[in-house]
Amino acid sequence: MRKSIYQDAKQKYAKYGIDVEKAIKKLGKVKISLQCWQLDDVQGFESNGPLTGGIQTTGNYPGKARNFEEITQDLDKVLSYVPGSKKINLHAIYQVGDIVDRADVGPKQFEKWVEYAKSRNVGLDYNPTCFSSPMVKNGMTLSSPDENIRKYWIKHAINSRLVAEYFGKELGQKSLCNLWIPDGLKDVPNDRIGPRQRLKESLDEIFKVKVDHRYMDDSVESKVFGIGVESYTTGSHDFYLSYAMKNNVLCLLDTGHFHPTENVADKISSILLFSPRLAFHVSRPVRWDSDHVLRLNDDLQEVANELVKCNALDRAYIGLDYFDASINRVAALALGARNMEKALLKALLTPWDLLKKYQDEEDFTSAGASFLAKVEAASTGPFARVLKNFSATCGNIAYVRTSSSVPFPPAALEASTILSHSGSILSAGRHVITSVILFWASACLTTSAFASVGSLPNLPVTRLAKSAVIFS
């Protein structure tokens, strides 16, 4: 029955010139970079001090990861829920073992992460951490008027690039080293060019150090404003886009870092005409850069559509960037990743070539409501069937568990299986994996739910005496 349903979906898409098997294969190669900071509220392993530099979380849901062992245990669970290729996105504050000053961080502090990535067959991306530090002076780092402050963060950024190069060499896939800084001013500045001049000079010093770009790429990330820097952001989009284009580094677009009326997807085609690659941090900004968990909404779909229409999936780094401490963190990370993949699959199953043809022929009726109505009618049902096949075909990474008591068999749970557990309480590893109740149930109704959810009974609960998750 399953095969016949999927074959029927393939035939319906074929009517519009869409090769479903090709779409699934292409999606399976897209590496979604999962940000580890959703699992511990951007705390890292250096200390338990407060977040600063425009970074904050809201909520105190139980079960937050507190160390490398707990965060990788949670990552294992996330990886088991998300089919396809993945990477893990790290910040410098996630160094393991002998913790050193951030300016001195190097490959040695991330050896355990490389071991983990190898055992799970995932890549690693990297971010210098230029916040939550006493060396952030008056909200400034690389653009600070204090030369000692600038030198500190220049050294940190240079060493961070070497860490990313190390990741690429060890794992056989390029690592992205992305630089974001919180620099700016709360009130209207008297001098706009001065901080930007200092930032430019700092970046020049950072990128003057040669690394092997076979193993890593550099990117710079802009922002409209941040908490405490509402009036002026040194690293604006105009600044970083200009710098990236002139200095052969990548411009990273964070979907939460623009004005609410801006269409981030619209920027993709322009940048790709002048840059070989593009980088993304994908979040859902309810109010500015509030970094909510990704939903399959219009904004996310437009980004996915544009990447596919521009034939840019192999030219784009796609990283997630959100954190919500008010809900189960494992559920949040898995849900957002799956919605990213759903958006990409929907884009891959849309007949863009035909729609472009109608546009070029100025046949706007066919390109608009009349044609799209037919596509919508044909795709609503088949999409779920194709997504189910993608989850089952692509599967999850093979990895070795530290405890044999936590099995993750390859079989995927059907949506009907999840719904059959209505009202039940299920332990899932260290803390229960919330299905995000109705939120997640609605997402799963059109899919095979989670690929490889694993054996449900008799799973250990280590930090919480009792954790509960309701799957419907």
- Domains annotated on the chain, with CATH: 29-348 (3.20.20.150), 401-472 (no CATH)
Cβ atoms of 472 and 441 closer than 8 Å? yes
Please tell me the predicted confidence (pLDDT) of residue 418: 26
Q: How far apart are CA 75 and CA 220, in angstroms?
A: 26
Task: Compute the radius of gyration of the chain from its Cα atoms.
Answer: 22
Digit-by-digit pLDDT tens for the chain (472 residues) are: 456 888 988 998 998 889 999 999 999 999 999 999 999 999 899 876 776 766 777 788 999 999 999 999 999 999 999 999 999 999 999 999 889 999 999 999 999 999 999 999 999 999 999 988 999 999 999 999 999 999 999 999 999 999 999 999 999 999 999 999 999 999 999 999 999 999 999 999 999 999 999 999 999 999 988 778 889 999 999 999 999 999 999 999 999 999 888 999 999 999 999 999 999 999 999 887 888 999 999 999 999 999 999 999 999 999 999 999 999 999 999 999 999 999 999 999 999 988 888 888 888 777 666 666 666 665 566 788 788 888 877 655 433 333 333 333 233 333 333 223 222 222 234 444 433 333 333 333 333 333 333 322 222 223 332 222 322 2
Catalytic residue of the set 70, 76, 289, 324: 289
Question: Measuring CA to CA, which residue among 315, 313, 322 is closest to residue 341?
Answer: 313
- Is residue 19 part of the annotated active site? The answer reads no
Residue 291 Rama label (left phi>0; alpha psi -120 to 50; beta): left
Give the chain's length. 472
- Is residue 221 part of the annotated active site? The answer reads yes
- Is residue 76 part of the annotated active site? The answer reads no
Please tell me the predicted confidence (pLDDT) of residue 48: 67
Catalytic residue of the set 46, 218, 306, 321: 321
Q: How far apart are CA 412 and CA 435, in angstroms?
A: 15
Please tell me the predicted confidence (pLDDT) of residue 241: 97
212, burial (CB in 10 Å: exposed 0-12, middle 13-18, buried 19+): exposed
Catalytic residue of the set 40, 41, 125, 221: 221
- Is residue 223 part of the annotated active site? The answer reads yes
Please tell me the predicted confidence (pLDDT) of residue 95: 96
- Is residue 254 part of the annotated active site? The answer reads yes
Place of tokens 């280590």: 462
Catalytic residue of the set 156, 174, 257, 388: 257
Query: Against a cut of 0.75, is the pTM above it?
Result: yes
Strand partners, 86: 32
Whole-angstrom CA distances from 184 to 142, 154, 236, 282, 306 are: 11, 17, 10, 23, 31
Please tell me the predicted confidence (pLDDT) of residue 432: 42
Please tell me the predicted confidence (pLDDT) of residue 467: 29
The shares of helix, strand and coil residues in the chain, as percent rounded to the nearest 5, are: 45, 10, 45
Please tell me the predicted confidence (pLDDT) of residue 456: 25
Please tell me the predicted confidence (pLDDT) of residue 392: 77
Cβ atoms of 135 and 92 closer than 8 Å? no
Catalytic residue of the set 87, 156, 223, 431: 223
Q: How far apart are CA 323 and CA 337, in angstroms?
A: 13
Catalytic residue of the set 77, 174, 237, 281: 281
Catalytic residue of the set 170, 291, 299, 306: 291
- Is residue 291 part of the annotated active site? The answer reads yes
Catalytic residue of the set 165, 217, 218, 254: 254
- Is residue 259 part of the annotated active site? The answer reads no
Catalytic residue of the set 37, 113, 153, 180: 180
Quick one: three-class SS letters along 131-159?
CCCCCCECCECCCCCCHHHHHHHHHHHHH
